[in-house]
């Protein structure tokens, strides 16, 4: 904390206060720093795990990978463990996160019991549910401060996870089953502890039902770090029977099943080819390694220059996660096929337990997160960003919301309405009267 305080004091008066952080899971450009940033290098640890209270006190820059390494041997995990190992606790709360347990546990910030937040005025405030700063903090992306400590609830878990991959050609039927499982937390007499899915093509989707279980089964657990990419197993096993295919993972491998291949984005580096996969060291099959490679391309544009030499059109980056009401899911997927033409996409149902001003989902209503990450050719006469603008408009039309970790194009009035920036400005007046922190619109849309 001394380094953090000293780094805050070193930021010149009038200069924006930002993190001096080398790594990020954001996919929008960040403004180049013109002043020293906050030194958070000492805030990456687990402070304490209380097994009796089922809580963990964690520093804000602690990654979920590090936290799980401490809690899982004790038989616990956070209520929601985002898909990528290097997402931090503070990042998941201020920037949102989601995973297959979100249909019953909400989003990561909903299991936070208490936070210490460094605010723009330099004060560290301890806040709890119901406090204005606490309630405004989710989806604020550092515009209201940075979490230095979080106390979160932990869920007891067994050692293994049994999976069942159900195939669907009828997306309406799939949406109805999602709503039913979110209500009953079971299917065909079996408990459902985790729920997500993949849409591979129009008329081809799979829901994966996860049941947390002990090691009593004699079947060998799959290992998709060394085998085929995990998403291929969903399609291969799920397509084998109308009743769905079965699989089994250790709890640890289930938590990081998507990280190894960055969902399916590792295909850009050849990792879907078994020959390349054998040569790519196992320890480098990680989302943060892939993110660094993409960062180099964004900086030097080597592939883009080669594509232009081949006469190929420029490409638009369409990397988004959106929440749409479950009853509008088929409508969105059909529109997405026609207008964006990108596959696969990830599906992750969720229910929010209460209203959160900066990301207002109806409490108790079933939404489905649709995640899509890739690039598409820019059509003749179109602008870079047009597909993303169309996604924003469609999601708003359907009564959904969009996460802000990637490119955003909203006008100020629409943005303020969708993300309740009136409430955020009220909080900023209390905790950052001099405006030292960049506000959310400037960060997310103007990329300051």
Q: Tens digit of pLDDT for each residue in 239-294?
A: 987 778 999 999 999 999 999 999 999 999 999 999 999 999 999 999 999 999 98
Distance CA 429, CA 353 (A): 28
Share of the chain above pLDDT 70, in %: 97
Distance CA 112, CA 152 (A): 4
Nearest to 349 by CA among 123, 236, 194, 242: 194
Give me Rg for the CA atoms of the chain.
Answer: 22
pLDDT at 4 > cutoff 90 = no
Residue 118 bridge partners (DSSP): 124, 146
Domain ranges of the chain: 2-157+421-444, 160-258
CA distances to 75, 114, 202 from 106, in Å:
21, 17, 28
Distance CA 355, CA 266 (A): 36
CATH architecture of 2-157+421-444: 2-Layer Sandwich (3.30)
Cβ atoms of 436 and 120 within 8 Å: the answer is yes
Predicted pLDDT at 227: 73
Nearest to 199 by CA among 167, 153, 163, 152: 167
Q: Tens digit of pLDDT for each residue in 145-167?
A: 999 999 999 999 999 999 999 99
The average pLDDT across 88-110 equals 97
Please, which pLDDT band fits residue 33 given cuts at 50, 70 and 90?
low
Q: 201: buried, middle or exposed (CB in 10 Å: 19+, 13-18, 0-12)?
A: exposed
Q: Which residues lie closer than 8 Å to 231 by C-beta, 6 or more apart?
A: 198, 258, 261, 263, 264, 344
Tokens of 152: 């979160």
Q: Which residue has the tokens 């959106």?
A: 322
Residue 126 bridge partners (DSSP): 116
Cβ atoms of 138 and 96 within 8 Å: the answer is yes
Distance CA 162, CA 117 (A): 39
Distance CA 268, CA 296 (A): 14
Q: Tens digit of pLDDT for each residue in 196-231?
A: 999 999 999 999 999 999 877 667 899 998 879 999
Distance CA 102, CA 348 (A): 8
Residue 344 preceded by cis peptide, ω within 30: yes
pLDDT at 235 > cutoff 70 = yes
- Using the 8-state DSSP alphabet, how is residue 379 labeled? P
Predicted pLDDT at 298: 78
């Amino acid at each position: 904390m001394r380094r953090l305080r000293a780094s805050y004091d070193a930021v010149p008066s009038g200069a924006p206060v930002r993190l001096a952080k080398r790594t990020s899971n954001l996919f929008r450009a960040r403004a180049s720093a013109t002043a020293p940033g906050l030194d958070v290098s000492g805030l990456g640890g687990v402070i304490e795990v209380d097994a009796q209270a089922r809580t963990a006190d964690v520093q804000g820059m602690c990654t979920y990978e590090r936290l799980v390494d401490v809690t899982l041997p004790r038989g616990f995990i956070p209520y929601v463990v985002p898909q990528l190992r290097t997402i931090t606790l503070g990042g998941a709360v201020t920037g949102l996160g989601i995973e297959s347990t979100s249909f019953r546990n909400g989003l990561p910030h909903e299991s936070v019991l208490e936070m210490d937040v460094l605010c723009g005025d330099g004060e560290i405030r301890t806040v709890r549910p119901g406090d204005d700063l606490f309630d405004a903090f989710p989806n604020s992306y550092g515009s209201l401060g940075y979490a230095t400590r979080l106390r979160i609830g932990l869920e007891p878990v067994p050692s293994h996870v049994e999976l069942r991959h159900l195939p669907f050609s009828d997306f309406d039927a799939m949406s109805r089953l999602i709503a039913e499982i979110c209500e009953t937390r079971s299917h065909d007499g079996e408990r459902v502890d985790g729920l997500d899915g993949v849409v591979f093509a129009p008329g081809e989707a799979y829901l994966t039902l996860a049941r947390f279980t002990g090691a009593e089964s004699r079947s060998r657990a799959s290992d998709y770090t060394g085998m085929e990419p995990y998403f291929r197993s969903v399609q291969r096993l799920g397509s084998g029977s109308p009743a769905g295919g079965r699989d089994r993972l250790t709890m640890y491998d289930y938590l990081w099943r998507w990280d190894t291949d960055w969902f399916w984005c590792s295909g850009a580096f050849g990792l879907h080819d078994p020959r390349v996969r054998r040569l790519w060291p196992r320890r480098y099959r990680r989302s943060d390694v892939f993110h660094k490679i993409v960062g180099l391309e964004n900086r030097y544009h080597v592939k883009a220059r080669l594509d232009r030499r081949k006469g190929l059109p420029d490409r638009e980056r369409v990397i988004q996660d959106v929440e749409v009401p479950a009853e509008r899911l088929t409508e969105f997927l059909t529109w997405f096929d026609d207008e964006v033409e990108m596959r696969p996409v990830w599906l992750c149902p969720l229910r929010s337990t209460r209203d959160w001003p900066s990301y207002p989902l109806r409490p108790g209503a079933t939404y489905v997160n649709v995640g899509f990450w890739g690039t598409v050719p820019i059509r003749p006469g179109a602008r870079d960003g047009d597909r993303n603008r169309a996604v924003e408009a469609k999601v708003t039309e359907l009564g959904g919301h969009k996460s802000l970790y990637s490119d955003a194009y909203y006008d100020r009035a629409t943005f303020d309405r969708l993300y309740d920036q009136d409430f955020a400005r009220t909080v900023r007046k209390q905790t950052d009267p001099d405006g030292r922190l960049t506000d959310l619109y400037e960060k997310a849309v103007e990329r300051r």
